[in-house]
Amino acid sequence: MILGETNINVFKNNITNNNGKGISISKYSAIAAFLNGSESFTSTNPFNPYHIFNSDISSIYLGSEGVYLNLSGIYSVYSMISDNIVSDNGEYGILVLDSENLWIRNNVFSGNGLSGVLLSGFDGSVLSDNVFIGNGVGVSLDSSNGNNIFNNSFIGNVAGIDVGSNDNNIILNVFSNCTDDIVLRGNRNIISGNKFFNSKSDSISVYGYQNTIKNNKINNSKGYGVYLGSSNNIISNNDFVNIKCVYVGSDNNSILLNSFSGGVNGIIISGVKNVIRDNSISNTKSNSVSVYGYKNTIKNNKINNSKGYGISLFAYGNNVTYNSLINNYKSLYIDSDQNVFSYNNIIGSKSDGLTILGFSNVFKKKYY
């Protein structure tokens, strides 16, 4: 059927076992098979929305995609893909190229080899209320900026979301039993209000700049709750329970107002000029704050009941002020030079309150 310049509605299909693309939409042709068909189809709609819904798109052979949309050069007011099951495709469940304003909602993506959804060069889209189960990656963003990903569930994927682009919002999603939950390789992205459970590796890995990670709940991660491999990021107001630690391997980051409970370590710092302020850290199995980088600021943190050191320093030139260390096994350990310590409160250490092995450290005032 030739559809020409009209709206396209594709629904109630079972599209299986195609040795090519299950669904291909581009600006070059307008042929469709639909209404309970079993073929793949290729369609175009240069100026009007696409609607794909209530379909079962599965078992595409290795090297092909379930839904392929090449919208390069097409202006779309909005397009929608909703209420579909997209499963067991060799590469991508949905691959979308070069456009904007797509809404992918209320779909199930499972068992797709590379990604459930790949957006490449696609800006201003919304992915909401979808379920991603057992894919290589749930959602991949490649040079796709300004997208909103919210209210989705990611279960047992190798990676939940891989972000290789900028200015995206990842909000109010739930991640459980993924290997890695979110990998950020872009800049100025916001990760907020998400819940993470039982990550087999790192919950959030950051390799881009000026990202904000706030108001998330991260539970039982076997790897790092947050791994920072880049600079000028903000980690604030998150709740970490039973994680390995937050690892700061870069410079000029801010770790603020977070809560840590249980887990192996609280925060490990190997970068420089980071600010660790106003955090609450309790009941870690090892050290709560360990500093291997220089010129960091450790200020106004509350550290309780650590089974290792409350704060341990192995590098010079750090500023440790106004911290409260209460009922830790050992509170403050200094194996470095030229650090400044002032107005720290150390109470009830089960072993050593203060251990100093370095030289030329400055103590302005301290309490025991």
The confidence score (pLDDT) of residue 169 equals 98
* 46 and 147 share one domain: yes
The confidence score (pLDDT) of residue 97 equals 86
**Could you tell me if residue 259 is inside a domain?**
no
The whole-number average pLDDT for the span 282-292 is 96
Token pair, residue 15, equals: 């599209």
- The one-letter code for the residue type at 310 is G
At which of 205, 223, 252 does a domain end?
A: 252
The alpha helices in the chain, defined as continuous H runs, are none
The confidence score (pLDDT) of residue 224 equals 96
* 146 and 28 share one domain: yes
Residue bearing the bigger pLDDT, 249 or 71: 249
Radius of gyration of the chain (CA): 25
* 197 and 236 share one domain: yes
Tell me: pLDDT of 28 over 90: no
At which of 252, 277, 312 does a domain end?
A: 252
Token pair, residue 33, equals: 């098979």
Per-residue pLDDT reduced to its tens digit, 120-132: 998 999 999 999 9
Q: Are strands 174-176 and 195-197 parallel, antiparallel or unpaired?
A: parallel
* Least confident range of 86-100, 123-137, 143-157, 294-308: 86-100
On whether the CB atoms of residues 66 and 59 are closer than 8 A, the answer is no
Band the pLDDT of 41: cuts 50, 70, 90.
very low
**Could you tell me if residue 354 is inside a domain?**
yes
The whole-number average pLDDT for the span 263-288 is 97
**Could you tell me if residue 174 is inside a domain?**
no
* 368 and 283 share one domain: yes
- The one-letter code for the residue type at 1 is M
On whether the CB atoms of residues 274 and 251 are closer than 8 A, the answer is yes
SS3 318: coil
* 152 and 103 share one domain: yes
Per-residue pLDDT reduced to its tens digit, 71-129: 444 445 568 899 999 999 999 999 988 777 889 999 999 999 999 999 999 899 999 99
Other C-beta atoms lying within 10 Å of the C-beta of residue 63: 11
**Could you tell me if residue 168 is inside a domain?**
no
- Core vs surface per residue 116-132: b (16+ CB within 10 A) or e: bbbbbbbbebbbbebbb
The confidence score (pLDDT) of residue 20 equals 46
Band the pLDDT of 69: cuts 50, 70, 90.
low
Residues counted in the chain: 368
Q: Which of 200, 209, 186 is nearest to 154 (CA)?
A: 200
Q: In percent, how much of the chain has pLDDT > 90? A: 70
* 121 and 28 share one domain: yes
* 150 and 1 share one domain: yes
Tell me: pLDDT of 46 over 90: no
Residues 138 and 115: their CA atoms lie apart, in Å, by: 5
Residue bearing the bigger pLDDT, 268 or 41: 268
* 228 and 94 share one domain: no
The confidence score (pLDDT) of residue 122 equals 84
Q: Which of 78, 74, 75 is nearest to 49 (CA)?
A: 78
* 108 and 246 share one domain: no
Per-residue pLDDT reduced to its tens digit, 320-358: 999 999 999 999 999 999 999 999 999 999 998 889 898
Number of domains in the chain: 3
Band the pLDDT of 203: cuts 50, 70, 90.
very high
Token pair, residue 235, equals: 């980690």
Residues 296 and 137: their CA atoms lie apart, in Å, by: 35
Tell me: pLDDT of 29 over 50: no
- The one-letter code for the residue type at 214 is K
Band the pLDDT of 245: cuts 50, 70, 90.
very high
Residue 210 structural domain = 179-252
- The one-letter code for the residue type at 276 is I
* Least confident range of 48-52, 162-166, 172-176, 263-267: 48-52
The confidence score (pLDDT) of residue 116 equals 96
The confidence score (pLDDT) of residue 86 equals 93
- The one-letter code for the residue type at 290 is S
**Could you tell me if residue 332 is inside a domain?**
yes
The confidence score (pLDDT) of residue 325 equals 96
Average pLDDT, the chain: 84
**Could you tell me if residue 172 is inside a domain?**
no
**Could you tell me if residue 170 is inside a domain?**
no
* 147 and 34 share one domain: yes
Token pair, residue 341, equals: 């310590």
The whole-number average pLDDT for the span 261-287 is 97
**Could you tell me if residue 50 is inside a domain?**
yes
The confidence score (pLDDT) of residue 80 equals 87
* 316 and 340 share one domain: yes
The confidence score (pLDDT) of residue 43 equals 37
The confidence score (pLDDT) of residue 32 equals 29
The confidence score (pLDDT) of residue 306 equals 95
The confidence score (pLDDT) of residue 35 equals 29
Per-residue pLDDT reduced to its tens digit, 7-27: 444 454 555 544 444 555 544
The confidence score (pLDDT) of residue 98 equals 79
DSSP-derived secondary structure letter, 133 = E
At which of 193, 222, 252 does a domain end?
A: 252
* 368 and 302 share one domain: yes
Residue bearing the bigger pLDDT, 204 or 69: 204
